[in-house]
Amino acid sequence: MKEININTSFTVYQSVAELPQDVQLLMEQAIEIRKKAYAPYSKFRVGAALLLDNEKVVLGSNQENAAYPSGLCAERVAIFQSGAIYPEAKIVKMAISAASDTNKTTTPIPPCGACRQSISEYEFKQEYPIEIYFMGERGEVYLSKSISNLLPLTFDKNFL
């Protein structure tokens, strides 16, 4: 038997104001699109903004459905939209903001497992790391320089 230790690291910004200017703008777009989420069941709203290497920004917000689990998370809405509209573009940065209608979210909220897998697929496809910035409604912002920090043991097409 052996033990494997996996270490991850994140950069922590105290607020949106501390982010680099381009990321501030991206996070502000994630916050604005978060407000347009369709979340009548969970009351939990998420916005995602992707910066592509062609300088386009693609937005997504979570979209719920009474026929659960037919809805989609904000991250996947944005990723799949970018793949459909700009299939050759690489995702350079992703900004995510999450808020609850019922309680304050001041802790950075990372993507769910399904979104992590989708981000991993695109990072693997483009052979280029995606910087992922995530936060709650306000407060600290975490930066993961690659999905491998959030999903260290990835499942990709090499296993198929």
Question: Whole-prediction pTM value?
Answer: 0.95
Q: Is 75 a catalytic residue?
A: yes
Residue ranges with strand state E in the chain: 11-13, 44-52, 57-61, 91-100, 131-135, 141-144
Fold held by 11-154: Cytidine Deaminase; domain 2 (3.40.140)
Binned at pLDDT 50, 70 and 90, residue 158 comes out as: confident
The pLDDT score that the predictor gives to residue 84 is 97
pLDDT digits (tens, 9 = 90+) for 13-31: 999 999 999 999 999 999 9
Q: Where are the domains of the chain?
A: 11-154
Of 75, 123, 127, 131, the active-site residue reads 75
What is the structure's pLDDT at 157?
Answer: 83
